Amino acid sequence: MIKKEMIYRNPLVNLGYENEDILSNGGFGAVLAYAGVGKTALLVQVALNAMLREQPVLHVSLNDAVSKVDVWYQELFHNIAENSGVVEVSEYWDKIQPYRFIMTFKVDGFSAPRLEERLIDLLQQNIFKPHTVIIDGFKFDDAGRGQLVQLKELAQKYLMSVWFTVHTHRHEPPQENGLPLSFLHVADLFDVIVQLAAKGDEVYIKSLKGKSTDLTQNSLRLDPATMLVKNGK
């Protein structure tokens, strides 16, 4: 087991969740935000939490190369280690890196069947069996509901939880429930939905669906310097 001093809590438990996993097998979670606000940074922290608990994470990137995704992980891990007062950063990184696998697709070449094909290759060769999947860059504007249903069935079939980044648009006003109109047709497929909202130099994390409390709604935010989640007003 990885030493306790390097255990990093899932930042979203601060929204009122009792379980570090938050999502059950087959569950869907989404992080909504405008471009450049911190969607990937937040989900990389969720992934690092799982890796530190020795739970394998499959990171599927539809925009960035493997090298760029890896930089996200290493930089955020370094910041977490520094905040934890850990000196042997390289030693801890070497321990958790086997619990992450990065997979890339072109946006127009991504689908549930193609993801399953790649996943089966990993499983049959006993290379990697993911517990958590992050899908970064999925085009919700262009996707029909059927594609999300297929991905949901895939998650249930292989007992995985799946987190998505969702790019929202400034010109699209939110509905009464806070969700953008372009996301409403698939919102029922998601168990947890959080939003990143920039206010001045601060980025606040708000729960739109799932468990939350009034006390944490306005106190959980991303530190713009480190991109780590922090509490306190």
* DSSP letters for 42-54: HHHHHHHHHHHTT
Taking a C-beta distance cutoff of 8 angstroms, is the pair 212, 220 a contact? no
pLDDT at 4: 58
Structure tokens of 8? 């990093």
Taking a C-beta distance cutoff of 8 angstroms, is the pair 146, 12 a contact? no
Q: Which three-class secondary structure state does DSSP give residue 131? A: coil
pLDDT at 181: 82
* Helix pair 66-83, 39-52: axis angle to 10 deg: 70
State how far the alpha carbon of 24 is from the alpha carbons of 1, 32, 186, 232, in Å. 23, 20, 18, 28
What lies within 8 Å, CB to CB, of 89 at 6+ separation is 77, 78, 81, 82
Distance of alpha carbon 8 from alpha carbon 22, whole angstroms: 15
Mean pLDDT, 10 residues at a time, over the chain (233 residues)? 66 83 95 92 95 95 95 93 83 93 93 97 97 95 89 98 92 76 90 89 88 57 83 57
pTM: 0.92
Q: Which domains does the chain have, with CATH numbers?
A: 4-17+26-230 (3.40.50.300)
| Nearest alpha carbon to residue 132 among 197, 55, 48, 63 | 55
pLDDT at 26: 96
DSSP secondary structure code for residue 180 in this structure:
B
